[in-house]
Amino acid sequence: MTIVHFTPIAGLIGGVLIGLSASLFLLTTGRVAGVSAMVGGLLSSASSDKLTRLAFVLGLAAAGVAARLIAPETIGAAPEGRSELMVVTAGLLVGFGTRRGTGCTSGHGICGIGRFSLRSIVATCTFLGVAVIVSGLVDGVIAGAAQ
């Protein structure tokens, strides 16, 4: 596998902005900024803070649209060898998995590890390890199908 776009400065800036955003959210609301929990609560009838959740999710979508408009090269099409359907399906499976695992990369990986939560460290190591294995299997299947 070849790294096509190596952008350490942009990655550093993005990481700092994500960390600041998560910290501000924790400081202002007292809650962890977990995307799967936000979306899940937005879809749940039991949630009492739908406005906060809606603003959070719309902010994520607006940031993606803004990035596409300001720097279209930063958000491209599906990776080579993958269809749009495959990417959408993968995203839905990740969302399902994060709800089943009671947390996602933002909740556990950013906020939980930053708070030295052992549960989050174990969860993050688990889902990243599984992601590496599944990615390798999928790449192998795609490479095998191409031959």
pLDDT tens figures, 103-118: 777 788 888 888 899 9
Report the chain's mean pLDDT, rounded to a whole number.
82
Q: Is residue 59 part of a domain?
A: yes
User: How many structural domains are present in the chain?
Assistant: 1
Residue-range definition of the domain harbouring residue 22: 8-146
Q: Is residue 114 part of a domain?
A: yes
Q: Is residue 14 part of a domain?
A: yes
Check residue 62 and give its pLDDT.
92
Q: Which range among 18-22, 113-117, 143-147 shows the weakest confidence by mean pLDDT? A: 143-147
Q: Which range among 25-34, 81-90, 137-146 shows the weakest confidence by mean pLDDT? A: 137-146
Q: Is residue 50 part of a domain?
A: yes
**Residue among 128, 100, 114, 89 nearest 19 (CA):** 114
The pLDDT of 45-60, averaged and rounded, is 86
Q: Residue 133 — very low, low, confident or very high, per pLDDT cuts 50/70/90?
A: very high
The pLDDT of 67-78, averaged and rounded, is 77
Q: Is the pLDDT of residue 31 over 70?
A: yes
Check residue 93 and give its pLDDT.
85
Q: Is residue 1 part of a domain?
A: no
Q: Is residue 107 part of a domain?
A: yes
76/68 Cα distance (integer angstroms) = 9
This model's pTM is above 0.95: no
Can you spell out the DSSP letters for 43-107?
H-TT-S-HHHHHHHHHHHHHHHHHHHHH-GGGS-SSPTT--HHHHHHHHHHHHHHHHHTT--III
Q: Which amino acid is at 46?
A: A
Q: Is residue 57 part of a domain?
A: yes
Q: Is the pLDDT of residue 1 over 60?
A: no
Q: Is residue 2 part of a domain?
A: no
